[in-house]
Structure 1
């Protein structure tokens, strides 16, 4: 059971590097068996051969797998450190390209955009996909001018730790924006991870449900339904409601403040 949990944790970690569970299965099999023909790899992993070919094409693009010139052609897994560094370098190049394209694309989009600067419509958006969800949370904190409450499970917060959110929380703190985290009781290892957010304060209390609420007082709200804690970082089913509706923001702010006042101050951050 322990090995199964360890492998599941590894699969979750590899999701951060863009590998699906099946792609992680292929990579581990190639590491385990060494150079291996595609047909045998499909048989060993019990995956559809056509699907294996498609996944290998993706993994080759990431620098995770190489192929021999032998007959039959064999797949070779890149060494773990080489594999991970290849993926990071590729992502960094993509980010740099996007940054350079911002002025040109922004100018093109502005030329066709309706001028809505004078409108005061309240917005309500549904966003799906855990990576996108965390990006919206990061944006809320980054743009905050008032106190922000983050109410979520410890598992969700630990996943957030491996995103840009902790760095944005630290920047907010330097700008005198209070970020308060409320979660459930954690063990010492989990607590040490939560401390690294360097939020103004973290409290433990009873959460109303296995959901998340992130609210900036008087301005913005992000909330979700039940979170599937068995899913990893790339859970496509994870979704949130993102709104600036004054009524909703006010109601959830009051709820978060009530929960906050009833919670116990466990680890103040200096």
Structure 2
């Protein structure tokens, strides 16, 4: 546990061992430190110099020898605060300078990012992605084409999906293919009646993405997520046109 925590502060496993050894020994020579820590003198000396640079260890001369001593453990909190400030500055630079600059350096052609997901874990990821994307938009709404056979499997890995959607204030419009479907808060539903049976399918339109979920053999769910403003807008136009006609 200690080694993992101090690693987050930039201390190697060897440096952590030497620091612990010095806390137990008090001021000590390199020979005593090496003997007590089980680290050879050359490696111990190099690591002690690194600890000194990090402000965790100091030394003082005594005759012709150099004695090292550990700083108060409170220094570790200072290291953590310093690292936290550096990370916050890095995040700020990424948000406001680096990422915008990198985005501008990309070619101007439009491309489609296609990702595939399988199984219940994959479907849960897609459902959470819908909530994450839509919840960050000003107009919190998405649209869905859904058929009856998919419904028993859609929310199986994420049974609280509808509650989470309502909690986030996200609206949904559903065009159901065939009968069925449940009414829920912040949702509207219209139906397309079909004489032929409809295979299991679910298409969610949440610009800039579209998700297509279907069932393979033995009701194994799979999904394709397309990230493309052009495709999402086209699908949205189709949905809105059909919605007005129903």
Q: TM-score range, shorter-chain basis? A: 0.3 to 0.5
The structure that is strand-richer by fraction is 2
